[in-house]
Amino acid sequence: MAQEIERKFRVAGEFRGEAVGAERITQGYLCSVPERTVRVRIKGSQGYLTIKGIGNETGVARYEWEQAIPLADAEALLALCEPGVIDKLRHRVPAGGHVFEVDEFFGENAGLVLAEVELSSEDEAFERPAWLGEEVTGDARYYNAVLMKQPFSRW
């Protein structure tokens, strides 16, 4: 089984000057229950289907399977998704030996900016850039599958 290990943070400062690229992402959920999510994503001109399991006690690690699918299939599957769409711009920002993925949200989640860093183990050390704010790893309110149903603008 594939394992995703990542930590998530609010962004509290300016990061764009350090970004090395950005890509628009649109995604929806075929299933968004806490025990499992099935996500359809369009990133650039490529579609993806992703299945994620429930996180461990800390929320840092969980099962993840992802497969690239044709763009036309992703567009058709998005039409079958639960109500609500996540629309965001993902910036890639190197820091130390890692690359943070910084998501700037639009639509009902406008104003929310989150950063994630993928790790090889739960206790792996990483450099904390000055713009990194409060850690929200394991806080379900910040999961995309929850933001789809309970957008940031309604908090």
Which of 29, 63, 142, 143 is flagged as catalytic? 29
Furthest-apart CA pair in the chain: how many Å?
41
Q: Are 20 and 92 in contact (CB under 8 A)?
A: yes
* Rounded CA separation 90/107 (Å): 15
Give the DSSP per-residue string, 54-88.
---TTSSEEEEEEEEE-HHHHHHHHTTSPS--EEE
The C-alpha atoms of residue 98 and residue 9 are separated, in whole angstroms, by: 15
48 is catalytic: no
Query: Would you please indicate which residues are annotated as catalytic (active-site) residues?
Result: 29
